[in-house]
Structure 1
Amino acid sequence: MDKWEEHFKGVLNLENETQAFPAINTTPDGNIIQVTPEEVRATVNQSKVKRAPGPDGIHTEHLKETQEMLLPFWTNLFNVCLRSGTIPEKWRRSSVNILYKGKGQTNDPNSYRCIALENNILKIFMKILTKKLQDSECPEGVVHEDSFKDIYAKFFPHGNSSLYAHYVFKAFDVNSNGAISFRDLLVTLSTLLRGSIYEKLRWTFKLYDINGDGCITRSELGEIVVAIHELMGRRAHQVEDDRKAREQVDRVFKKLDLNQDGVITIEEFIESCLKDEVITKSLQVLDSGTGL
């Protein structure tokens, strides 16, 4: 039983302490963002039926049959969520089903996968927001590096985000073709926001492994640290700042390179990070927007 408990602690999301996201009121060009009844109706009508509901027990069929009566209510609720930067507490919950993969020993927890069933009304809201995001930031269905850097610059206006955004873009660019499809963008963001600690650590390792050879060198770690310092507004090529950056790189690299062979493997990276309480907690609440 202990084996099962330990396994699912790693693959299931832990309680997220973050209570709200930044309130969204306008687009970059100043237009007011709001959900319209037409958007809600279209999204409800396009939703698939005969799917298991989330914890609230509301099926898609219920939403379709009652939409004319409840359409104004849902529209107003979605807009309140946008203006306030929060969602109803019950929407944060999901029902988790554990399914056998169809192969492997039935007494081995690795032979099972988890499916989280979310409330359907939350799915409607997220589909509407996703379409708005795609229409405004990704109208062609792909994001190129220059556009990606522009988006990053909006979140870090007081620093130079270009270098760090370059490395993040490379980690997002799963096909290494200089473009991120909107789908790949959402999949990666979903992993970072809602994936297990192991999934987040694997992605972070990919970010630090700049040349993609399966290990992190001291030089690669140093490049990411410099990019993070610039992102946070610290000046490059300043003697004192450069000294502190080198000391940070030496300290972190020594901690992660468990066998002291001069490179950090993904196994060493995950093991070291899981032993660090600060890193583990930051991953649980996604307080890692600027890297580890």
Structure 2
Amino acid sequence: MDKSWIYELWEKEDKYKGLGVFGTLPEANNEPLLMAITPSEVLAAIRGSRGKSAPGPDGIRKPHLLMWDKDGVKLAHIFNAILYNRKLPRLLKRSRTTLVPKSPDPLELSRVENWRPISLSSTILRLLSKILSTHY
């Protein structure tokens, strides 16, 4: 079986040689990242997230977080400790990746480009990312 298409798909020469216009952008202002995350920011992020999203490898879902920390205080402390120490706990670094078919045709699914990888990380990490990207 000829597998040359694999090399064509994954080993193409990179056509991007530089940053182009992005190389001339001003330096980012990271000062807001030095401010503490508040419980109200945590609650806004929890309430703004989808309730039925799939959990990551830890199995934690939105209702679990709301039962455990109805005021957002505990998660705010955890998020601030992560930012202060500049260390993400190993447990939050885990993710689960699965392949989703792009086509119902079994013949089409024999080709790698007809599958889409989807990764799920911890709901806690998704909340932290949401807070950092939305507010700051």
TM-score normalised according to structure 1 size? 0.34
Q: 1:51, 1:132 → 2: CA distance?
A: 22
- After superposition, the Cα gap between the structure-2 partners of 1:126 and 1:108, relative to the gap in structure 1 and judged at 3 Å, is same
Work out which of the residue numbers 79, 95, 109 in structure 1 matches 2:112.
109
Please give the residue correspondences for 1:83-94 in structure 2 after superposition, counting only pairs within 5 Å.
83-94=84-95
Tell me, yes or no, if the aligned pair for 1:96 and 1:116 is still in contact at 8 Å.
yes
Instruction: Please state how far the C-alpha of 1:44 moved relative to its aligned partner.
Output: 0.8
Structure 2, gaps ≥5 residues long: 11-29
Q: 2:80, 2:124 → 1: CA distance?
A: 14
Instruction: Name the SS for the 2:110 alignment partner.
Output: coil
Q: 2:36, 2:101 → 1: CA distance?
A: 42
Please give the residue correspondences for 1:1-292 in structure 2 after superposition, counting only pairs within 5 Å.
27=31, 32-68=34-70, 71-102=72-103, 105-133=108-136
Q: 1:73, 1:114 → 2: CA distance?
A: 33
Structure 1, gaps ≥5 residues long: 11-25, 134-292
Instruction: Name the SS for the 1:68 alignment partner.
Output: coil
Tell me, yes or no, if the aligned pair for 1:40 and 1:128 is still in contact at 8 Å.
yes
Tell me, yes or no, if the aligned pair for 1:54 and 1:119 is still in contact at 8 Å.
yes
Instruction: Please state how far the C-alpha of 1:61 moved relative to its aligned partner.
Output: 2.2
1:153-198 Cα deviation digits (max 9, x unpaired): xxxxxxxxxxxxxxxxxxxxxxxxxxxxxxxxxxxxxxxxxxxxxx
Q: Which has the larger radius of gyration?
A: 1
The code of the aligned residue for 1:40 comes to: V
Q: 2:114, 2:66 → 1: CA distance?
A: 37
Q: 2:40, 2:90 → 1: CA distance?
A: 26
Instruction: Please state how far the C-alpha of 1:111 moved relative to its aligned partner.
Output: 1.0
The code of the aligned residue for 1:50 comes to: K
The code of the aligned residue for 1:92 comes to: K
1:91-147 Cα deviation digits (max 9, x unpaired): 1121001010026612112210100011101011011111232xxxxxxxxxxxxxx
Q: 1:117, 1:127 → 2: CA distance?
A: 14
**Which aligned segments of 4 or more residues in structure 1 are displaced greater than 6 angstroms?**
none
Instruction: Name the SS for the 1:45 alignment partner.
Output: helix
- The corresponding residue for 1:146 is none
- The corresponding residue for 2:18 is none
Determine which structure has the larger helix proportion and give its number. Answer: 1
Q: 2:123, 2:87 → 1: CA distance?
A: 17
Aligned residues between the structures: 109
Tell me, yes or no, if the aligned pair for 1:35 and 1:78 is still in contact at 8 Å.
yes
Tell me, yes or no, if the aligned pair for 1:45 and 1:64 is still in contact at 8 Å.
no
Higher relative contact order (CA 8 A, sep 6+): 2
Tell me, yes or no, if the aligned pair for 1:99 and 1:115 is still in contact at 8 Å.
yes
Instruction: Name the SS for the 1:97 alignment partner.
Output: strand
